[in-house]
Amino acid sequence: MRTLKTIAASLALLYGTTAFGAVKGDYVEVRTASVFAGPCHYNGELVTTGRDAIMVWNVTSGEFNGVNLAGVRAVAVVSSEANLIEEKAARKSAIVIDAKSDAQVAAWTAMMKESATLGTIVSVKRGPVTFTNNAKDGYTVDAAGFASAKVSAMPDGECCKQPNNVWYEPLTKVDDRKVGYTATANYAGGTVGEQWQRAGENSAFYGTFTR
């Protein structure tokens, strides 16, 4: 009889990671549409915007394809020809990865390519990404010259009291998903579309991830 350890090892060869080496960390996402709003506001944005997003990962532990990814920070900008709620609409993305080695960049890129969320990855660059999270200011992210965001918790857990007004789901699986308030968000433009900026809206998700 095959032991659990043998089965886990087989799965590692098949999927590139095991439950013991699962990649974990913090996740933040900002959309170009309010994810928590009244129905009229949601319907007004549905066909006019919401086609872009900033996705941010701050890896705290785990490995992929035998490469330790702890300490990796990555920012992806995703752009679609339709609101991102339309999963069948074509998407393209660009990624900036802050990593200690080329091996980490390669492993992270390979892991991202397994997900249909990013669509066609047209650019992968290595560069500095700052990521901070504290109780006072929330999340602050900056990939210099590429994208930035500042996201905080909604006061009094408002979105949890009115869950029917949360119209979207994060673009990737998020543990303990919460809706965030976007103080500012910016994409510098170029690789996947024109520059855009958003501010002062409930257009973010945050939580933790496990892959």
Which residue has better confidence, 97 or 211?
Answer: 97
pLDDT for the residue 158: 57
34 located within any domain: yes
Mean pLDDT in residue range 160-180: 86
List C-alpha distances in Å: 203 to 37, 52, 178, 181: 9, 11, 11, 6
pLDDT for the residue 154: 81
201 located within any domain: yes
13 located within any domain: no
List C-alpha distances in Å: 43 to 34, 48, 117, 182, 203: 10, 9, 23, 20, 15
The total of structural domains in the chain comes to 1
Question: With 50 as the cut, is the pLDDT of residue 5 above it?
Answer: no
Q: What residue numbers bound the domain in which 33 lies?
A: 22-210
14 located within any domain: no
Which residue has better confidence, 69 or 46?
Answer: 69
7 located within any domain: no
137 located within any domain: yes
